[in-house]
A and B are shown apart, each in its own frame.
Chain A
């Protein structure tokens, strides 16, 4: 007699995740949040260490032009710390970099997107990516030994013919290691970022509009002017801002090329100046006690500045990329 086999009891159907899934999701979510933690910690630690400086200097820390720690005969230490001069330098150098770098990058991106045959394009895009991977000290070395002699000559030309414009004037005809040359090196360093962001955005241009322009008999330039640029211009602005963020934070290349002097210098051709990042390196070696704290406070200023620029830039780029889909 056959034994009666009990049918398997029906499985319970549930949407509750298994333990393994819960562990997995928990771990991954936890790790995902870590980057937020790191970013917060960076801001927190730098602000905390720099707090004393912020408290004693107040708003003057951002606007002051003096950075000195004087010990009097009686051992009394008087500190005056202000990064104002270096903030001016940062903005000046980054402006040179943007004025030179952004038009070149946009031209290069247009060239790569609409003019080059496909096979060459792949190679050239790799070269642009490689440019982004070059160490910044390599740019510094090259800028100092190769670009500087040439750029000094260009600076002399600018000084000779354009010195009636205030920023091209100089107190003395000393053009080596000037913010202008540092700006040129930075321009080369931001080109890969701005180029690849612009190229990505140009590639998102709606194809039907491109083809419609051609079908109406537009030349390549007419097509770019009426379709690509109106579509991509805000994205290019975002790319330029990403470049600006990089230019603000660049340290080693600027320090190598520029004659870093703690002084407010509005003359871009004159060989003195600095930016916040290079100033930190300059003062770090001899800094003790309060000055170290002040340098960390300067680091905090730099951190907040680049963070704000980057967040704005990223949201602009993202919005443009989305509008193409």
Chain B
């Protein structure tokens, strides 16, 4: 006797068939038409009216249909589903709008001399082809670099304290780090002004700005690094100890290398947090329009500051500068964000 193996095709009986979806789509089209008709017939007008009517008619008709098929509970479920969908759509619309307007306004001002000239010999009211933002790019790069040097070691060491040593103060420090991540950026700027610029020989300059940004960056780095270190399996730590390694050896040769990608992600996320900060810079870097290669002396420019100045001047040319500046800043943030995601994703997979 021979049995032929029939291939088993997995089925999903709970999935809606096209026949079941069709009435839903039909109802949506009908409610769209109905909203157009109502807008045409009544004094209501504008996109707001269309959206509102479509939402009301669509939701009611869908829920009435569910009621007739499956009863009251299903009708309530249908109403909530469409409200949740609408809420999510309302959240994501601004993101699309922000990206679209920034790109469409920003590309108009893009040209090569932006990256080779500063604003030293040009005014913000000049057409955008005059002058550039090299000084701001240099300033932002300095700010990012110095902030990394200041806050990454401190962030990672604090995370190590919270995850590896778990000393008696760990809970308290955790609390403090969380409190620190809520410090408003303007307060960070004021603090650096009140503490460093007023009392020490360091005047408004790149380094003062980096101090202020570090206050914002440290908690971000600490919290992300902590999450990553917690993902390192305890077996690895125990294996290290069992081989006779001291805690220092275990951490330096096992834990930190195992979490390397994640620690880089933490750094990148920290940089993304501060790259676009404007408020602390207003008090600390002076906002020069001249190219300044020395972050320890004299006023420095920065991309957010450039955008801020362009926006505050208020003429069409200066606002164009602001849009172009923010586009470049946005690209920087997007690149950092994607880099952090890819590294973070790889870490998750290797686990």
Interface residues of A (CB under 8 A from B): 17-18, 20-21, 23-25, 27-29, 31-36, 38-39, 41-42, 45-46, 48-49, 103-108, 110-112, 115, 124, 126-131, 133-142, 144-147, 153-154, 157, 188, 191, 195, 218-222, 224, 242, 245-246, 248-252, 256, 277, 280-281, 284, 295-296, 299, 302-303, 306-307, 309-311, 314
Q: Find out whether the CB atom of B184 lies under 8 angstroms from the CB atom of A32.
A: no
Q: Find out whether the CB atom of A21 lies under 8 angstroms from the CB atom of B247.
A: yes
User: In the complex, which residues of chain A have a beta carbon less than 8 angstroms from the beta carbon of B249?
Assistant: 20
Tell me, in angstroms, the Cα distance from A224 to B198 when the chains sit together.
Answer: 55
Q: Find out whether the CB atom of A108 lies under 8 angstroms from the CB atom of B88.
A: yes
A-B contact pairs, 7 of them (CB 8 A): A32-B169, A104-B90, A108-B91, A130-B95, A220-B81, A246-B182, A307-B183
B11–chain A nearest beta-carbon distance, Å: 18
Apart from A107-B83, A146-B97, what are 14 other A-B pairs with CB-CB below 8 Å? A20-B246, A25-B167, A31-B158, A34-B158, A39-B179, A45-B191, A133-B269, A133-B333, A135-B277, A142-B94, A191-B91, A221-B76, A224-B80, A252-B278
The answer to whether residues A242 and B182 also contact, given A42-B187, A135-B277 and a CB cut-off of 8 A, is yes
Answer yes or no: B60 CB below 8 A from chain A CBs: no
Answer yes or no: B116 CB below 8 A from chain A CBs: no
Interface residues of B (CB under 8 A from A): 46, 48, 73-74, 76-77, 79-81, 83-88, 90-92, 94-95, 97-98, 101-102, 105, 153-154, 157-158, 160-162, 164-165, 167, 169-170, 172-173, 175-188, 190-191, 193-195, 198, 215, 218-219, 222, 246-249, 251, 269, 272-273, 275-279, 282-283, 304, 307-308, 311, 319, 322-323, 326, 329-330, 333-334, 336-337, 341
User: In the complex, which residues of chain B have a beta carbon less than 8 angstroms from the beta carbon of A46?
Assistant: 187, 190-191, 194
Closest 8 CB pairs of A and B: A135-B276, A249-B184, A107-B87, A32-B161, A310-B182, A219-B77, A24-B248, A31-B157
Q: Find out whether the CB atom of A141 lies under 8 angstroms from the CB atom of B311.
A: yes
User: In the complex, which residues of chain A have a beta carbon less than 8 angstroms from the beta carbon of B191?
Assistant: 41-42, 45-46, 299
Tell me, in angstroms, the Cα distance from A309 to B101 when the chains sit together.
Answer: 34
Tell me, in angstroms, the Cα distance from A12 to B36 when the chains sit together.
Answer: 88
Q: Find out whether the CB atom of A134 lies under 8 angstroms from the CB atom of B98.
A: yes
Q: Find out whether the CB atom of A252 lies under 8 angstroms from the CB atom of B165.
A: no
User: In the complex, which residues of chain A have a beta carbon less than 8 angstroms from the beta carbon of B275?
Assistant: 135
B196–chain A nearest beta-carbon distance, Å: 9
Q: Find out whether the CB atom of A138 lies under 8 angstroms from the CB atom of B158.
A: no
User: In the complex, which residues of chain B have a beta carbon less than 8 angstroms from the beta carbon of A115?
Assistant: 81, 84-85
Q: Find out whether the CB atom of A251 lies under 8 angstroms from the CB atom of B185.
A: yes
User: In the complex, which residues of chain B have a beta carbon less than 8 angstroms from the beta carbon of A48?
Assistant: 194
Q: Find out whether the CB atom of B179 lies under 8 angstroms from the CB atom of A311.
A: yes
User: In the complex, which residues of chain B have a beta carbon less than 8 angstroms from the beta carbon of A295?
Assistant: 190
B237–chain A nearest beta-carbon distance, Å: 14
User: In the complex, which residues of chain B have a beta carbon less than 8 angstroms from the beta carbon of A153?
Assistant: 46, 48
Q: Which of B76, B181, B276, B319 contacts A138 (CB 8 A)?
A: B276
User: In the complex, which residues of chain B have a beta carbon less than 8 angstroms from the beta carbon of A24?
Assistant: 247-248, 251
Chain B, residue nearest A144 (CB): B311
Q: Which of B97, B160, B195, B329 contacts A45 (CB 8 A)?
A: B195
Tell me, in angstroms, the Cα distance from A23 to B246 when the chains sit together.
Answer: 12
Tell me, in angstroms, the Cα distance from A105 to B94 when the chains sit together.
Answer: 13
Q: Find out whether the CB atom of A45 lies under 8 angstroms from the CB atom of B194.
A: yes
Tell me, in angstroms, the Cα distance from A93 to B69 when the chains sit together.
Answer: 45
Chain A, residue nearest B273 (CB): A133
Tell me, in angstroms, the Cα distance from A137 to B173 when the chains sit together.
Answer: 31
Tell me, in angstroms, the Cα distance from A18 to B276 when the chains sit together.
Answer: 45
Tell me, in angstroms, the Cα distance from A79 to B18 when the chains sit together.
Answer: 74
Q: Which of A25, A144, A157, A306 contacts B247 (CB 8 A)?
A: A25
User: In the complex, which residues of chain B have a beta carbon less than 8 angstroms from the beta carbon of A284?
Assistant: 282-283
Chain A, residue nearest B83 (CB): A107
Q: Find out whether the CB atom of A310 lies under 8 angstroms from the CB atom of B326.
A: no
User: In the complex, which residues of chain B have a beta carbon less than 8 angstroms from the beta carbon of A139?
Assistant: 98
Q: Find out whether the CB atom of B77 lies under 8 angstroms from the CB atom of A135.
A: no
User: In the complex, which residues of chain A have a beta carbon less than 8 angstroms from the beta carbon of B173?
Assistant: 32-33, 35-36
